[in-house]
Amino acid sequence: MTTGHRITVEPSDRHVRVEREGRVLAESDEALVLKETGCPDRYYFPPVDVRVDLLTPSRTTTHCPFKGDAVYWSMPDAENAVWAYPEPKPEVAQIKDHLCFYEVEVV
């Protein structure tokens, strides 16, 4: 990692949930929290805690020099709202195949 840039991944000590229009999309006591310099904390959910049946794979991919290549999923009213790193860089290997949402409620 470059000097001054830091990423940590650790188990969240909080219950986290994702809702959209009254529907729970993800809910977990086993999420991981990724903290990255200059970015908001992001919660990565194990797939078992996500309503993957409500997601449609997207053709969108992005590259992060610190985490690797991300793939995305969409919902009917939210394009590319969910992402994951199928082969993350070794420094963040814990997030492999976990799903992340833009809007998360932490309780």
Residue numbers of the domain that contains 31: 7-106
Domain assignment present for 55 = yes
- What digits encode the pLDDT tens for the residues 65-86? 999 999 999 987 889 999 999 9
Domain assignment present for 34 = yes
Q: Are 82 and 57 in contact (CB under 8 A)?
A: no
- What digits encode the pLDDT tens for the residues 4-62? 889 999 999 999 999 888 889 999 999 999 999 999 999 999 999 999 999 999 999 99
Domain assignment present for 1 = no
Domain assignment present for 60 = yes
Domain assignment present for 91 = yes
Whole-prediction pTM: 0.91
Closest CA to 88 of 67, 106, 63, 59: 67
Closest CA to 32 of 8, 61, 68, 64: 8
**Euclidean distance between CA atoms 91 and 3, whole angstroms:** 15
Domain assignment present for 2 = no
Domain count of the fold of the chain: 1
Domain assignment present for 35 = yes
For position 48, which CATH number holds? 2.170.150.40
